[in-house]
């Protein structure tokens, strides 16, 4: 659980997502139930990314408008 949380947190933070550390650690803690941590982390990260970048194109890896 802790290793998954660290991996998720580092990955999301390196991608530039706000609250990446928090989302990663929550996903790691919830991963005590198989597949639930991954699903929770994915949904929360997509919602945060959509609010942060404002378009689906940016969330999917397109131009960030920076």
User: pLDDT tens digits for the chain (66 residues)?
Assistant: 889 899 999 999 998 889 999 999 999 999 999 889 889 999 999 999 889 888 777 777 766 555
Q: Is 64 inside any structural domain?
A: no
Q: Is 31 inside any structural domain?
A: yes
Q: Is 65 inside any structural domain?
A: no
Domain count across the chain = 1
Q: Is 48 inside any structural domain?
A: yes
Q: Is 44 inside any structural domain?
A: yes
Domain extent for 35: 2-59
Its pTM surpasses 0.95:
no
What is the maximum span of the chain, computed from C-alpha positions, in angstroms? Answer: 38
Cα(33)–Cα(38) distance, integer angstroms: 10
């Amino acid at each position: 659980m802790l290793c998954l949380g660290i991996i998720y947190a580092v990955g999301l933070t390196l991608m530039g997502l706000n609250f990446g550390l928090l989302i990663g650690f929550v996903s790691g803690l919830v991963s005590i139930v198989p597949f639930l941590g991954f699903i929770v982390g994915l949904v929360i990260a997509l919602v945060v990314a959509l609010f942060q970048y404002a378009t689906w194109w940016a969330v999917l890896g397109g131009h960030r408008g920076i």
